[in-house]
Amino acid sequence: MSAVSPPPFQAPKPNTFLASAGYAWSGLIHTAVHQRNMRMHLISGLLVALVGSGIPLGLAEKVTLVFCVLLVLFAEMLNSALEQLVDLAVQQFDPKAKLTKDIAAAGVLVLAVGTVAIFALVLVHNADAVTENLLAVQRQVLVGVPLTVVSGALMHERARPGAVNVLLGVVGFALWAVTLTWSTSAVFSAMAFGFLVVSAAAARARRLQK
């Protein structure tokens, strides 16, 4: 008599929008914690948000920059998901598996380089606005550099005591609040806030894993 095979595993399905959003948030934070390139993209996105909130830009330029930043993050998350899938399916070295990962990584690289080029073109096109708002640009650099450092420190691979993470988070959000006093774009300020939240959540997740 043949043994009865166990029923196939079925992952629990979210039955509410909040549950689905929670799973998506977990995926985002997991990528930020475990993927160095994702952390680099998040920091780059924060820099774009700080520049965008420091100088006046047209609607089309704002939409283009926001879309490019989000597209790069989306591509990096898809690349990370594909890597996990390949590692799950292939238990030993396979040239085709390596090629699959390389092609996916190349796609992210193309998007990232294109975003940098578009960002540079936007700055060149708005050179007069940058010159006219030189004081605002200087203030943004003065606050934006330490803010970016704080964000990078929160996402750093080394786990730190919880009190240090809290201190970094307080400093980061305080610096962000300072930029609000002269921000020219609520959209870019909100985007910078979102990147800070992700940085703080990544620091918390890394500490909980230790």
DSSP calls for 167-186:
HHHHHHHHHHHHHHTT-S-H
Q: Is 76 labeled as catalytic in the residue annotation?
A: yes
For the residues of 66-78, what is the DSSP string, one character each?
HHHHHHHHHHHHH
CA nearest to 145, candidates 37, 41, 51: 51
**Active-site residue, selected from the candidate residues 61, 76, 83, 132:** 76
CA distance 47 to 152: 11
Contacts of 19 (CB under 8 A, 6+ apart): none
Tokens of 81: 């998901």
Q: Is 111 helix (H, G, I), strand (E, B) or coil?
A: helix
DSSP state of 133: T
Q: Could you give the residue numbers annotated as active site?
A: 76
